[in-house]
Chains A and B, each alone.
Chain A
Amino acid sequence: MVPWALLLCSLPLSAFSKPTKTLGVSPNLLSKYVPIAKTNTWKCLDGSKEIPWDFVNDDSCDCPDGSDEPGTSACPNNKFYCQNEGHIGEFISSSRVNDGLCETQCCDGSDEQPGVCPNLCKEIGEEYRKKRDAELKLQRAGAKVRSGYIAFAHQEKKRLQGEVERLAEEIKAKEKEVDRLQDIAERTESLSQAALEHKKESPLYKSLIIHNNALKSLQREHKKHLEREKALGQILDALRTGYNPNYQDMAVLEAVRGWEELAKLPHINDVGKDSEAEKPSENESDEEEEEALEEGMWDAGQLEHQLDGLISTDYLSLLLEHEEYINGPQEGSILFELAAYLPDSFIPVYEDVKDTLVSWLQKFGIVRGDDGAADSSRAQQAYNDAKNELDRMRTELDTKENDIKEIFNINGFGAKGEWKKLDGTCLEKDTGDYTYEVCLFNEVKQKPNNGGTTFSLGKFESWNPSSDVQPGQPEFYQKQVYKHGTRCWNGPERNVVLRLSCGVENALLTVQELEKCEYEITGTSPALCLPPEEDKKNGNGKKKDEL
Chain B
Amino acid sequence: MRSWSILGTVALLLVSDSWAFKAHDFKTCSQSGFCRRGRALSARAKEAKSSWVSPYRIQEDSINISPSQAVFTAAVKGLYEEINFGLEVRIQDDGVVRVRMDEVGGLRKRYDETASWALIAEPVISEDIKWAKSKGATRATYGQKKEFEVIVKHQPLQISLLRNGKEQIVLNGDGLLHMEHFRNKVEPPTSTEEPEPVEGESAEEEAGTQKVLEVKTRPTAWFEGETEDALFEETFSSWTDSKPKGPESLSLDINFPNHGTVYGIPQHATRLALPSTAGEDPTFSDPYRLYNSDVFEYLASSPVSLYGSIPLMHAHSVDSTVAVFHVVGSETWIDVSHASDKSTQTHWISESGILDTFLLPGPTAEDVFKQYARLTGAPVLPAAWSLGYHQCRWNYVSSDDVRTVQKRFDEEDMPVDVFWLDIEYAEDHEYFMWKEKNFPDPVEMTNDVAANGRKMVVIVDPHLKRDDNYPAFKQASELGILVKPKSGEGEYEGWCWPGSSSWTDFFNPASWDWWKGIFKPEGNPDKWTWTKSTTDIHIWNDMNEPSVFNGPEITMPKDNIHYGGWEHRDVHNINGMLYSNLTYQAVAERTNPPMRPFVLTRAFFAGSQRFGAMWTGDNLGTWEHMAVGIKMVLANGLGGLSFAGSDVGGFFGNPEPEMLVRWYQVGAFAPFFRAHAHIDTKRREPFLLDEPYKSIVKDILRLRYTLLPVWYTAFRETTVTGMPILRPQFIMFPKDKAGFDIDDQYYIGSTGLLVKPVTEKGATEAKVYLAEDEVYYDYLTNQAYRGAAKGKEITVPAALHQLPLFLRGGSILATRERPRRASSLMKRDPFTLKIALSKSGSARGELYLDDGESYNHMQGDLIWREFSAKEHGKHGLRISSADLAAAKPDEAVDGVALKTYNPANEFVKSVADVRVEKIVVLGLRSKPRSVKVQGGGELVYEYTPGVAASDKKGGSPSVLEIKDPRVLIKEDWSIVID
Does A300 interact with chain B (Cβ within 8 Å)?
no
Selected A-B contacts with CB under 8 Å, 6 pairs:
A4-B942, A5-B940, A9-B937, A58-B964, A99-B820, A101-B452
Do B819 and A95 touch across chains, with their CB atoms under 8 A apart? yes
Do B453 and A76 touch across chains, with their CB atoms under 8 A apart? no
Do A514 and B913 touch across chains, with their CB atoms under 8 A apart? no
Does B198 interact with chain A (Cβ within 8 Å)?
no
Among A13, A232, A248, the residue within 8 A (CB) of B8 is A232
Across the interface, which residues of A come within 8 angstroms of B953, CB to CB?
A: none
Min C-beta distance of B655 to chain A, whole Å: 14
Do B825 and A5 touch across chains, with their CB atoms under 8 A apart? no
Cα A250 to Cα B7 with chains together (Å): 16
Across the interface, which residues of B come within 8 angstroms of A60, CB to CB?
A: 917-918, 963-964
Among A12, A62, A245, A258, the residue within 8 A (CB) of B7 is A258
Cα A62 to Cα B942 with chains together (Å): 10
Across the interface, which residues of A come within 8 angstroms of B927, CB to CB?
A: 2
Among B496, B817, B912, the residue within 8 A (CB) of A76 is B817
Do B968 and A101 touch across chains, with their CB atoms under 8 A apart? no
Does B14 interact with chain A (Cβ within 8 Å)?
yes
Do B937 and A5 touch across chains, with their CB atoms under 8 A apart? no
Interface residues of B in 361-400 (CB under 8 A from A): 397-398, 400
Interface residues of B in 948-976 (CB under 8 A from A): 963-964, 966, 968
Mark B535-556 against chain A: 1 for CB-CB distance below 8 A, else 0: 0000000000000011000100
Min C-beta distance of B816 to chain A, whole Å: 11
Q: Which of B8, B10, B452, B913 has the largest number of chain A CB atoms within 10 A? A: B10
> With A58-B964, A229-B4 in contact, is A271–B940 under 8 Å at CB?
no
Min C-beta distance of B956 to chain A, whole Å: 12
Which 7 pairs show the lowest CB-CB distances between chains A and B?
A9-B937, A60-B964, A99-B825, A246-B549, A15-B913, A270-B499, A248-B549
Cα A16 to Cα B829 with chains together (Å): 12
Chain B residue at smallest Cβ distance from A77: B413
Across the interface, which residues of B come within 8 angstroms of A232, CB to CB?
A: 4, 7-8, 11
Chain A residue at smallest Cβ distance from B397: A512
* Count class of interface residues, chain B: 35 or more
Do B680 and A491 touch across chains, with their CB atoms under 8 A apart? yes
Do A512 and B296 touch across chains, with their CB atoms under 8 A apart? no
Cα A364 to Cα B535 with chains together (Å): 91
Among B3, B14, B15, B818, the residue within 8 A (CB) of A251 is B14
Does A432 interact with chain B (Cβ within 8 Å)?
yes
Seen from chain A, the residues whose Cβ lies within 8 Å of a Cβ on chain B are 1-16, 58-60, 62, 73-74, 76, 93, 95-96, 98-101, 228-229, 232, 235-236, 239, 244-248, 250-252, 255, 258-259, 262, 269-271, 431-432, 490-491, 510, 512-516, 518
> With A491-B680, A512-B398, A514-B683 in contact, is A5–B7 under 8 Å at CB?
no
Across the interface, which residues of A come within 8 angstroms of B240, CB to CB?
A: none
Cα A60 to Cα B967 with chains together (Å): 13
Does B566 interact with chain A (Cβ within 8 Å)?
no
Interface residues of B in 806-830 (CB under 8 A from A): 817-821, 825-830
Do A246 and B497 touch across chains, with their CB atoms under 8 A apart? yes
> With A73-B818, A515-B682 in contact, is A14–B7 under 8 Å at CB?
no
Do A271 and B7 touch across chains, with their CB atoms under 8 A apart? no
Chain B residue at smallest Cβ distance from A238: B11
Cα A229 to Cα B3 with chains together (Å): 11
Mark B700-736 against chain A: 1 for CB-CB distance below 8 A, else 0: 0010000000000000000000000000000000000
Does B907 interact with chain A (Cβ within 8 Å)?
no
Min C-beta distance of B916 to chain A, whole Å: 11
Across the interface, which residues of B come within 8 angstroms of A251, CB to CB?
A: 14
Interface residues of B in 661-714 (CB under 8 A from A): 679-683, 702
Chain A residue at smallest Cβ distance from B295: A248
Min C-beta distance of A61 to chain B, whole Å: 8
Known: A3-B942, A246-B549, A515-B682. 11 other contacts (CB 8 A): A2-B944, A9-B939, A14-B915, A74-B818, A101-B451, A101-B825, A255-B11, A258-B10, A262-B7, A491-B680, A516-B679
Across the interface, which residues of A come within 8 angstroms of B398, CB to CB?
A: 512
Does B791 interact with chain A (Cβ within 8 Å)?
no
Min C-beta distance of A448 to chain B, whole Å: 16
Cα A229 to Cα B8 with chains together (Å): 9
Cα A60 to Cα B964 with chains together (Å): 6
Do A513 and B497 touch across chains, with their CB atoms under 8 A apart? no
Does B429 interact with chain A (Cβ within 8 Å)?
yes
Chain A residue at smallest Cβ distance from B495: A246
Across the interface, which residues of A come within 8 angstroms of B49, CB to CB?
A: none
Min C-beta distance of B688 to chain A, whole Å: 11
Min C-beta distance of A273 to chain B, whole Å: 9
Does B943 interact with chain A (Cβ within 8 Å)?
yes
Do A269 and B499 touch across chains, with their CB atoms under 8 A apart? yes
> With A73-B829, A76-B702 in contact, is A59–B917 under 8 Å at CB?
yes
Do B944 and A1 touch across chains, with their CB atoms under 8 A apart? yes
Q: Which of B11, B939, B941 has the largest number of chain A CB atoms within 10 A? A: B11
Min C-beta distance of B175 to chain A, whole Å: 41
Across the interface, which residues of A come within 8 angstroms of B913, CB to CB?
A: 14-16
Among A14, A258, A271, the residue within 8 A (CB) of B429 is A271
Cα A251 to Cα B16 with chains together (Å): 13
Chain A residue at smallest Cβ distance from B929: A5
Min C-beta distance of A147 to chain B, whole Å: 33
> With A258-B7, A516-B680 in contact, is A271–B428 under 8 Å at CB?
yes
Across the interface, which residues of B come within 8 angstroms of A7, CB to CB?
A: 938-940
Cα A12 to Cα B499 with chains together (Å): 67
Do A245 and B11 touch across chains, with their CB atoms under 8 A apart? no
Across the interface, which residues of B come within 8 angstroms of A73, CB to CB?
A: 818, 820, 829
Among B8, B10, B819, B966, the residue within 8 A (CB) of A11 is B966
Q: Which of A15, A101, A251, A491 has the largest number of chain B CB atoms within 10 A? A: A101
Do A432 and B818 touch across chains, with their CB atoms under 8 A apart? no
Cα A235 to Cα B549 with chains together (Å): 24
Chain A residue at smallest Cβ distance from B4: A229
Across the interface, which residues of A come within 8 angstroms of B188, CB to CB?
A: none
Across the interface, which residues of A come within 8 angstroms of B820, CB to CB?
A: 73, 95-96, 99
Across the interface, which residues of B come within 8 angstroms of A514, CB to CB?
A: 397, 401, 683
Cα A74 to Cα B915 with chains together (Å): 13
Do A246 and B429 touch across chains, with their CB atoms under 8 A apart? no
Do B681 and A515 touch across chains, with their CB atoms under 8 A apart? yes
Does B498 interact with chain A (Cβ within 8 Å)?
yes
Across the interface, which residues of A come within 8 angstroms of B296, CB to CB?
A: 247-248
Among A10, A62, A271, the residue within 8 A (CB) of B498 is A271
Does B936 interact with chain A (Cβ within 8 Å)?
yes
Chain A residue at smallest Cβ distance from B964: A60
Do A95 and B413 touch across chains, with their CB atoms under 8 A apart? yes
Cα A546 to Cα B904 with chains together (Å): 48
Across the interface, which residues of A come within 8 angstroms of B11, CB to CB?
A: 232, 235-236, 239, 255
Do A14 and B966 touch across chains, with their CB atoms under 8 A apart? yes
Cα A7 to Cα B964 with chains together (Å): 13
Among B918, B937, B940, the residue within 8 A (CB) of A10 is B937
Interface residues of B in 456-507 (CB under 8 A from A): 495-499
Across the interface, which residues of A come within 8 angstroms of B22, CB to CB?
A: 248
Cα A76 to Cα B680 with chains together (Å): 37
Does B437 interact with chain A (Cβ within 8 Å)?
yes
Chain B residue at smallest Cβ distance from A72: B818
